Amino acid sequence: MKILSGNSNKFLAKKISENLNLPLVKAEITRFADNEVYVEIKENVRGEDIFIIQSTSCPANDNIMELLIAIDALKRASAKRITAVIPYFGYARQDRKSLPRTPISAKLIADIITKAGADRVLTMDLHATQIQGFFDIPVDNLFAAPIFANDIKKNFKDRNPMIISPDVGGLIRARAIAKKIDAELGIVDKRRPKAGISEVMNIIGDVKGKDCIIIDDIVDSGGTLCNAGDALIKAGANSVFAYITHGILSGKAIEKVKNSSFETLVITDSIDQHENTNLTNKIKILSIADLFATAINNTTLEKSVSTLFD
């Protein structure tokens, strides 16, 4: 087994390699003068089980090309099996035709990764679980829920927590954590006039005096999340927190979080966050390195990955 890191999240790749007690594969992933991606594997990988760690976060297209070209380089270097470890799978929100004459980009990216030569994919909290079916190769979709539940149990012993789903679509994810910590469940009922803009309509559930914890898979510009937090406080919540798997935090998201009603925004390191944590003390990072290291080890040993969540 060998671990190769792309440039999107070297910090996470290093943590995973340290957990597995394996050095990262020596490789050069750079750009030519015209910004074309160049990959050179600088050690023998013939017959090896290779895991490429590369989140396809911003800049999504550059990171996807790095992943594809690295897969091709490994395939031509005679690697036995290539697993694309994609902690954050970009384009996942384009999983259906929402309007006439629009693409299903998540399916296109799945096809490209498969065609490039990946033998399997390891990812986390896909925006839509049906994306697993877009691939013609095995896909293991890990969950941050156990990590979140353990952290909530640890830090909310003297509080009155209530788990909140930011919309109906996230209800299954929120319910799973509410069940683990034995807490009540609420929902933010909102409508979205257009992409990136939402308006909170209603709070379903009695949040008065509760320490509300919003559970979601992605925080992007932060507007929807901050609106939901304000609505919960307005409805009588004692405090608001958020546990989000993938912190994209684009545009003025950090500033919005910094000035929001939230006491803490907890996100994982599926996307490189080492700079964002210096911008506000409201952001807390939970590492997924141990979980991915175990999943990678189980994959190599042909053991079950689903047992990690039993």
Answer for the pair 154, 122: CB distance below 8 angstroms, yes or no. no
Q: How far is CA 131 from the centre of its chain?
A: 14
Task: Render pLDDT for 125-176 as a digit per residue (tens, 0 to 9).
Answer: 999 999 999 999 999 999 999 999 999 999 999 899 999 999 888 899 999 9
Answer for the pair 282, 263: CB distance below 8 angstroms, yes or no. yes
Torsion of CA 98, 101, 107, 109, to 10 degrees: -110
Distances in Å between the alpha carbon of 158 and those of 103, 150, 180, 292? 48, 15, 17, 31
Same domain as 110, residue 228 = no
Tell which phi-psi region holds residue 206, choosing left (phi > 0), alpha (psi between -120 and 50) or beta: beta
Tell which phi-psi region holds residue 284, choosing left (phi > 0), alpha (psi between -120 and 50) or beta: beta
Answer for the pair 37, 65: CB distance below 8 angstroms, yes or no. yes
Same domain as 73, residue 202 = no
Same domain as 61, residue 48 = yes
Which helix (H) or strand (E) segment holds residue 165: the answer is strand 161-165
> For residue 88, what are the domain limits?
2-143+290-309
Same domain as 213, residue 117 = no
Task: Render pLDDT for 231-269 as a digit per residue (tens, 0 to 9).
Answer: 999 999 999 999 999 999 999 999 999 999 999 999 999
Structurally, the chain folds into a number of domains equal to 2
Distances in Å between the alpha carbon of 48 and those of 5, 44, 54, 76? 15, 9, 18, 13
Same domain as 99, residue 164 = no
Share of the chain above pLDDT 90, in %: 87
Same domain as 216, residue 158 = yes
Same domain as 221, residue 162 = yes
Q: Give the predicted TM-score (pTM) of the model.
A: 0.93
Residues 6+ apart with CB under 8 A from 60: 90, 91
Nearest-angstrom CA–CA distance, 74 and 158: 51
Q: Are strands 27-31 and 37-41 parallel, antiparallel or unpaired?
A: antiparallel
Residue 161: name the closest of 228, 242, 80 by CA: 242
Same domain as 200, residue 224 = yes
End-to-end CA distance of the chain: 26
The mean pLDDT of the chain is 94
Q: What local confidence, expressed as pLDDT, does residue 202 receive?
A: 86
Same domain as 159, residue 92 = no
Same domain as 277, residue 150 = yes
Give the CB-side neighbour count of residue 50, counting CA atoms within 13 A.
33
Per-residue burial over 245-279, b = 16 or more CB atoms within 10 Å of its CB, e = otherwise: bbbbbeeebbebbbebbbebbbbbbbbbbeebeee
Q: What local confidence, expressed as pLDDT, does residue 287 receive?
A: 96
Same domain as 20, residue 111 = yes
Q: What local confidence, expressed as pLDDT, does residue 277 receive?
A: 76
Give the residue numbers annotated as catalytic, written as ranges: 190
Task: Render pLDDT for 270-304 as a digit per residue (tens, 0 to 9).
Answer: 999 888 877 888 999 999 999 999 999 999 999 99
Distances in Å between the alpha carbon of 10 and those of 16, 41, 65, 271? 10, 16, 16, 10
Nearest-angstrom CA–CA distance, 197 and 192: 6
pLDDT at 199 over 90: no
Return the DSSP state at 229. H
Nearest-angstrom CA–CA distance, 288 and 84: 16
CATH number of the domain at 48, please. Answer: 3.40.50.2020
Q: 34: pLDDT confidence band, cut at 50, 70 and 90?
A: very high
Same domain as 7, residue 87 = yes
